[in-house]
Amino acid sequence: MQIVRTDSADPQFNVFIDCFPETLPFYTRSERFYDIPCWYYSFFSKPVYFWDALAYAVEIDEQNKTIACVGGISWGYAFRQFSFKPDATVPQALTKDDWVNDFKIFQEALADYQNINR
């Protein structure tokens, strides 16, 4: 599961669940995670100057309708003024507190699930 925060002029892209409509709210149900942020840039036009993702690995129990976070990482990129390419942000481990705060964003899509803290 992944939440993205940006400085987009379009408010729907300031904070959003990064997923495909058919997998909402999950980015993927695969054991593998691969993401390439897709924004089109030119020297004079940058739709976002920063893109910060908080990606969580979760265990889902479909039968008991529970979800548990097993870990997470923040990652992303930022543009410097007059730059041609973004700089990667230093990935950092996320905490249980991060998960508890971000779970509020996932909650509507996971209304039938109970969050189990481990």
Per-residue pLDDT of the chain (118 residues; tens, 9 = 90+): 889 998 888 888 889 888 766 666 766 666 665 565 565 566 666 677 788 999 999 998 889 999 999 999 999 988 877 777 788 899 999 999 999 999 998 888 888 888 987 6
Residue 10: what pLDDT? 84
Per DSSP, 59 falls in state: E
Q: Which domain holds residue 49?
A: 2-115
**pLDDT for the residue 56:** 92
Instruction: Return the pLDDT at 53.
Output: 92
Give pLDDT, residue 38: 60
- What φ, ψ does residue 40 adopt, rounded to 5°? -100, 125
Q: What is the pLDDT at residue 8?
A: 85
| Number of separate domains in the chain | 1
Report pTM.
0.78
